[in-house]
Structure 1
């Protein structure tokens, strides 16, 4: 059984690290390594896992855009559920129910796809 919260947390770290998907070096040739890379404080998923999870989250965006915004705000931007509830001027319980709906949707899509993620092996 997959822990979908940890799976999306790793996907969020992966997505936040490279939001546009292009890995161009920010330093000219010959100067690589002089400036350290971004500090990766959160555990990230592999690129293959990230692409699979990204497609499931994109499907969520088409069907449930409000829950998609919640997933992005919480897992990519790192905003707490309580802060999201304050911003939306609703209760924490409402936001948590929406989060459970979004988590269940993404988990269901991953089950339907019947894929084995690299992080599942660990």
Structure 2
């Protein structure tokens, strides 16, 4: 089973540092909430994985509610805490958690339906290590 949180976390780092992907450098409406840039970057995914996950996020935008894409981008790409998003949107943190969870599940479902293997999947890494022995 795929760890969708890790997948989206790494995709978020990858997408944030890819200006040619079309994502804004500042999350719309969240300018004051962005965390300061650290000189150390979090783990990212490879370009191949990033494009696959980005395609699933694109499907979320086409099929589901636009606010879910905004939440995924704000939380995973810009690393805005759920509490700060809830305060900005004037709703409960639980509501934000629920909406993000729905979006995560949709993206995970898209990846499962496409039957793709990501280089960052733990079972892929394990198989590659066993092959080298």
Normalised TM-score (structure 1):
0.83
Structure 1 residue 61 displacement after superposition: 1.0
4+ residue segments displaced more than 3 Å = none
Question: Residues of 2 paired with 1:110 and 1:17: CA distance?
Answer: 22
Aligned partner of 1:102 in structure 2 is 103
How far did residue 3 of structure 1 move?
Answer: 0.5
The 5 A counterparts of 1:1-122 are 1-21=1-21, 39-63=39-63, 64-120=65-121, 121-122=124-125
Q: What is residue 32 of structure 1 aligned with on the other side?
A: none
Given the two structures, how large is their TM-score scaled by the length of structure 2?
0.76
In 1, Cα distance between equivalents of 2:87 and 2:6: 24
| Structure 2 equivalent of residue 31 of structure 1 | none
Structure 1: stretches of 5+ with no match in the other structure:
23-37
**1: CA distance, partners of 2:102 / 2:117:** 22
Give a deviation string over 1:52-110, Cα, whole Å, max 9, x none: 00000011111221100000001111101110000000000000000110000000000
Larger Rg: 1 or 2? 1
Structure 2: runs of 5 or more not aligned: 23-37, 126-133
